[in-house]
């Protein structure tokens, strides 16, 4: 292999340690992006699942008239988010009926697109396209955003990495508000098809009591439609400051809950999330996660991060503290995506991500936090690496 990739990163041993080979490939694809040939893209959007931007856009460039895969699978089952970048050397091509990933110089492995769910071409009883209400994340996680709205944009105080408004304006691919009935019907179809194992749900910045009421109605509708008492999956509402509010979320019937803290370092949190940090302090976030562990049980409360904006040291401090209280962490790999304030910047190298996530996995493993995979697993999304690093360390 060459000594450097096109960004100048050293990659002498890249992909050669079989224990971490697919973790390294995934980290490289998430930080550099990739392209696919027209032959490889045949059937994407019909037979194979295409992107349908439910909330954010994660590509390096917009592609309004081109259907590209949402995510794909590596030979060991690792799920990778497709982040389109025409400048990347990584390419997926169709050869002899197989999809082959190469780095511009040599082939790395075969990959598989994921099947398009049947519900993507169905309508709810109210006549709405189901795909405009919910989308399958990764191989098995049904995603809903009950309201695509965030008040921080109006004051120009949105999180620097966020492209919610621009994604919605560019693709207009989802309904901005969805009813509990419509969401329940989509869940019924998705679970009936058999691929869906979990849900993940988030929403806009609503007043806390209104959000609790709305989420409870939605979870109740999902439970009724899928015929289960409790719903496997995770909701990501605004932090609930009172313990009784968290109890109401639990009583709604959802099994897991998470809060999007984004950045552990407090000063960086204020700088990167100017609006959010005014409404919820770092300490209030941590308190919410602690209360969530008490109510939902160890492993079923999550803190969500955008990894790659703060130093490894503070990120790992966060992992250490959250693991010590029995919480799990879901760190998404930062994409400097179009329409965000950080568009055009660059994420850390893939080596940084691999090292950091393996260290994070060691911390989580030694703290003995239950993996929480009944509610969110490595097949649920392709844009985080910690589940994959935990698998490397034997935790699934
Ligand atoms: S809180 Fe931040 S990340 Fe969430 S939608 Fe608003 S700006 Fe985006």
Q: Is residue 28 part of a domain?
A: yes
Instruction: Name residues whose C-beta falls within 8 Å of residue 154's C-beta, 6 or more positions apart in sequence.
Output: none
Give the residue, out of 56, 148, 150, 335, with the most ligand 1 atoms within 8 A of its beta carbon, to mutate for a pocket test: 150
Q: Is 89 within the bounds of a domain?
A: yes
329 with 380, same domain: the answer is yes
Q: Which of 80, 113, 146 is the last residue of a domain?
A: 113
**What is residue 18's predicted lDDT score, i.e. its pLDDT?**
62
Ligand 1, atom 8: closest residue by C-alpha: 162
In order of 192, 357, 378, the CA distances from 362 in angstroms are 37, 9, 17
User: Is residue 214 domain-shared with residue 350, that is, in the same domain?
Assistant: yes
User: Looking at the domain assignment, is residue 101 inside a domain?
Assistant: yes
Residues 133 and 109 in one domain: no
So what's the pLDDT on residue 16?
56
Residue nearest to atom 7 of ligand 1 (CA): 158
pLDDT 10s digits, 64-94: 999 999 999 999 999 999 999 999 999 999 9
Same domain, 244 and 370: yes
CA of 273 to the centre of ligand 1 (A): 8
C-alpha span between 42 and 270 (Å, rounded): 44
- The reported pLDDT for the residue numbered 7 is 37
Residue 6 lies in a domain: no
In a domain, 13, yes or no: no
Q: How many domains does the chain have?
A: 2
Distance CA 158, CA 161 (A): 8
Residue 211: inside a domain: yes
Span from the CA of 163 to the centroid of ligand 1 (angstroms) = 8
Residues 336 and 213 in one domain: yes
Does the CB atom of residue 145 touch ligand 1 within 6 A?
no
Q: What is the pLDDT of residues 265-305, one digit of tens each?
A: 999 999 999 999 999 999 999 999 999 999 999 999 999 99
Same domain, 79 and 139: no
Residue 188 in domain = yes
Instruction: Answer with the one of 113, 130, 164 that is the final residue of a domain.
Output: 113
Q: Which domain-ending residue is among 113, 144, 161?
A: 113
Residue 273 CA: nearest ligand 1 atom is 2
Contact 150 CB / ligand 1 (< 6 Å): yes
Question: Is 328 found in the same domain as 242?
Answer: yes
User: At 376, which CATH number?
Assistant: 3.20.20.70
Do residues 30 and 98 share a domain? yes
Q: What is the pTM of this model?
A: 0.94
* pLDDT reported for residue 208: 78
Domain that holds residue 76: 18-113
In this structure, are 266 and 317 located in the same domain? yes
Q: Determine whether the shortest distance from the Cβ of 276 to ligand 1 is under 6 A.
A: yes
Q: d(Cα 247, Cα 32) in Å, to the nearest integer?
A: 42
Residue nearest to atom 5 of ligand 1 (CA): 150
The 3-state DSSP composition of the chain as helix, strand, coil percent (nearest 5) reads 35, 20, 45
Residue 352 within a domain: yes
Q: Please give the distance, rounded to the nearest whole angstrom, from the Cα atom of residue 303 to the centre of ligand 1.
A: 15
Residues 151 and 254 in one domain: yes
Positions in the chain short of pLDDT 50: 1-14
Q: Is the CB of 162 under 6 A from ligand 1?
A: yes
Residues 6+ apart with CB under 8 A from 87: 33, 60
> In terms of domains, do 105 and 180 share one?
no
**Predicted pLDDT of residue 17:** 55
Pair 141, 99 in one domain? no
């Amino acid at each position: 292999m060459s000594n450097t990739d096109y960004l100048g990163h050293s990659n002498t041993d890249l992909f050669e340690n079989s224990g971490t080979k697919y973790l390294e490939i995934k980290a490289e694809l998430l930080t550099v992006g990739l392209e696919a040939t027209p032959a490889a893209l045949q059937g994407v959007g019909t037979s194979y699942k295409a992107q349908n931007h439910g909330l954010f856009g994660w590509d390096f460039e917009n592609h309004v008239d081109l259907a590209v895969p949402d995510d794909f699978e590596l030979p060991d089952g690792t799920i990778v988010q497709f982040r389109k970048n025409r400048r990347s050397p990584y390419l997926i091509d169709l050869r002899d009926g197989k999809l082959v990933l190469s780095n511009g110089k040599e082939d790395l492995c075969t990959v598989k697109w994921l099947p398009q769910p049947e519900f993507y071409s169905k309508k709810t009883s109210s006549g709405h396209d189901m795909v405009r209400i919910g989308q399958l994340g990764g191989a098995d996680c049904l995603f809903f955003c009950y309201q695509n709205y965030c008040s921080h944009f109006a004051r120009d105080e949105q999180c620097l990495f966020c492209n919610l408004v621009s994604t919605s304006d560019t693709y207009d691919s989802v309904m901005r508000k969805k009813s509990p009935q419509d969401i329940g019907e989509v869940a019924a179809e998705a679970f009936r098809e058999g691929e869906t194992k979990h849900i993940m749900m988030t929403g806009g910045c609503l007043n806390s009591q209104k959000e609790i009421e709305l989420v409870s109605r939605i979870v109740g509708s999902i439970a009724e439609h899928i015929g289960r008492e409790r719903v496997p999956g995770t909701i990501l509402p605004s932090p609930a400051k009172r313990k009784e509010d968290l109890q109401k979320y639990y009583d709604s019937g959802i099994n897991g809950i998470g809060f999007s803290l984004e950045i552990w370092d407090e000063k960086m949190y204020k700088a990167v999330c100017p609006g959010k940090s005014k409404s919820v302090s770092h300490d209030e976030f941590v308190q919410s996660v602690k209360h969530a562990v008490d109510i939902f049980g160890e492993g079923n409360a999550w803190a969500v991060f955008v990894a790659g904006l703060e130093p490894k040291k503070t990120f790992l401090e966060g992992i250490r503290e959250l693991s010590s209280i029995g919480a799990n962490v879901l760190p998404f790999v930062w994409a400097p995506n179009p329409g965000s304030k950080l568009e055009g910047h660059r994420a850390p190298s893939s080596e940084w991500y691999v090292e950091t996530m393996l260290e994070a996995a060691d911390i989580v493993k030694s703290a003995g936090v239950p993996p929480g995979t009944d509610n969110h697993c490595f097949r649920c999304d392709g844009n985080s690496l910690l589940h994959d690093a935990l698998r490397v360390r034997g935790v699934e």
